[in-house]
């Protein structure tokens, strides 16, 4: 484990150089990893593990769409694809990758297969951190670990296939065997992490829920809508409003920021853009800071977890969700976006 200085703060980081794939394979050579859930993270993590030579099976409810997807991805019923309970019985490491609501529902099944020496692996700290609401309290004899890729399972898989990696955080909640550190890092490397940085279950879920509701999705979508609506209100065409709001950011600027940083972007743009961005940056920061403070308080107090559990457990949740997504999908801005994407050169 290396100490890396990030902006004057030292953090524990594990890289592929100090913990190569060959070491991960050696650590996991006698393990059987069961992927429970084949939704957001399950496909990417399981396929990467398999391609890296780890013994992997998938546990999923037969007859579900996810079961069919697993079959389409090459998992063989009765050989590498099983019902959830059978997969848990065969595993030494259970990767619990169901949705948060799914984890609550399946916990009684999972718990009875957590015999001493096994490991319970998460990619999200929700179930453990809010266990007063979820009821997910692991027995004492098992390792409880976390690897959280900083992106979707789709991105994890795409980067892996391209020979790249997606950074992940790692955490140890319970080390019952004395092997939890080697297990968690080996799994992190084997699923395709670029490097792994240390956190704990609470910090992971607090940062994750804040990020999802904030800059990664909620705030980003809200700011997109606000600017698009202002441009449309002032006579700009849908195409112009969308290109200036979304397309230029996602297709041109963000890849450059990812490569070089925002400071480089400011230094390599026109004086007009440079001056305006530097001035207005402070206004947006001050305007949104109270919203982020409120958001973090709701996350850390468990109020957001309570809302997720309450709403997602309602029998009509999927129906209501589709109504919300349809409203978003059919809005003028995202209808315009669909047309703009079709006009990109690579699609013609």
Q: Per-residue confidence of the chain (348 residues) as pLDDT tens digits?
A: 778 888 888 888 999 999 999 999 999 999 999 999 999 899 999 999 999 999 999 999 998 999 999 999 999 999 999 999 999 999 999 999 999 989 999 999 999 999 999 999 999 999 999 999 999 999 999 999 999 999 889 999 999 999 999 999 999 999 999 999 999 999 999 999 989 999 999 999 999 999 999 999 999 999 999 999 999 999 999 999 999 999 999 999 999 999 999 999 999 999 999 999 999 999 999 999 999 999 999 999 999 999 999 998 899 999 999 999 999 999 999 999 999 999 988 887
Give the contacts of 273 (CB within 8 A, at least 6 positions apart): none
Q: Which two tokens stand for residue 58?
A: 């998938």
Q: What is the DSSP letter of 249?
A: I
Residue ranges of alpha helices (H) inside 199-301 are 201-213, 218-233, 238-242, 248, 254-260, 262-267, 271-300
**Residue carrying the six token digits 């109270």:** 290
In b/e form, how buried is each residue of 190-206, taking b as 16+ CB within 10 angstroms? Answer: bbbbbbbbebbbeebbb
Q: What 8-state DSSP symbol labels residue 243?
A: I
Looking at residue 187, what is its pLDDT? 98
CA dihedral defined by 315, 319, 323, 324, rounded to 10 degrees?
A: 50
- Beta strand 81-82 pairing with 93-96: unpaired
| DSSP for 68-107, written as a single string | HHHHHTT--BTTTEE-HHHHHHH-SEEEE-S-HHHHHHHH
Residue 307, pLDDT score: 95
- Domain spans, the chain: 2-200, 211-347
* Separation between Cα atoms, residue 306 and residue 292, nearest integer Å: 19
CA dist list (Å): 314 to 187, 311, 321: 35, 6, 11
Enzyme catalytic residues: 124
- pLDDT at position 346, please? 81
CATH, domain 211-347, list 1.25.40.10, 1.10.1040.10, 1.10.10.10, 2.40.50.140: 1.10.1040.10
Could you tell me the CA-to-CA distances from 203 to 9, 12, 51, 281 in Å, in that order? 16, 15, 31, 27
pLDDT at 35: 97
Cα–Cα distance for residue pair 76/131, rounded to 1 Å: 34
SS3 11: strand
Phi then psi for residue 54, to 5 deg, are -90, 145
Residues in the chain: 348
User: Which tokens go with 201?
Assistant: 């279950």
Domain 2-200: assigned CATH number? 3.40.50.720
Q: Write b or e for each residue in 95-114: b if 16 or more Cβ atoms lie within 10 A of its Cβ, otherwise e.
A: bbbbbbbbbbebbeebbebb
Q: Crossing angle for the helix pair 218-233 and 332-342, nearest 10 degrees?
A: 90
The DSSP call for residue 251 is I
């Amino acid at each position: 484990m290396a100490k890396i200085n990030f902006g004057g703060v030292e953090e524990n980081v594990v890289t592929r150089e100090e913990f190569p794939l060959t070491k991960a394979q050696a650590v996991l050579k006698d393990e059987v990893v069961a992927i429970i859930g084949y939704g957001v993270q399950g496909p990417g993590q399981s396929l990467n593990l398999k391609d890296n030579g780890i013994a992997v099976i998938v546990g999923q409810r037969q007859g579900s769409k996810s079961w069919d997807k697993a079959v389409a991805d090459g998992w063989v019923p009765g050989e590498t694809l099983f019902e959830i309970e059978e997969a848990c019985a065969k595993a030494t490491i259970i990767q619990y990758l169901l949705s948060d609501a799914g984890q609550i529902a399946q916990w009684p099944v999972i718990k009875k297969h957590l015999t001493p020496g096994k490991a319970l692996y998460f990619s999200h700290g929700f179930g453990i951190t809010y266990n007063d609401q979820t009821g997910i309290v692991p027995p004492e004899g098992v390792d409880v670990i976390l690897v959280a890729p900083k992106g979707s399972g789709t991105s994890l898989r795409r980067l892996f296939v391209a020979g790249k990696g997606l950074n992940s955080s790692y955490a140890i909640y319970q080390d019952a065997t004395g092997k939890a550190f080697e297990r968690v890092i080996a799994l992190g490397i084997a699923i395709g992490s670029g490097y792994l940085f240390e956190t704990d279950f609470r910090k992971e879920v607090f940062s994750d829920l804040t990020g999802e509701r904030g800059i990664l999705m909620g705030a980003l979508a809200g700011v997109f809508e606000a600017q698009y609506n202002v441009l449309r209100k002032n006579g700009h065409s849908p195409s112009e409003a969308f290109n200036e709001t979304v397309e230029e950011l996602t297709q041109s600027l963000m890849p450059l920021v990812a490569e070089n940083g925002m400071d480089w972007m400011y230094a390599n743009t026109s004086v007009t853009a440079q001056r305006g961005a530097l001035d207005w940056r402070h206004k947006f920061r001050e305007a949104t800071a109270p919203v982020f403070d409120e958001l973090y308080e709701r996350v850390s107090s468990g109020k957001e977890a309570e809302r997720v559990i309450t709403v997602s457990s309602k029998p009509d949740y999927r129906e209501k969700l589709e109504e919300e997504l349809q409203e978003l999908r059919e809005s003028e801005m995202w209808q315009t976006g669909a047309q703009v994407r079709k006009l990109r050169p690579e699609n013609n």
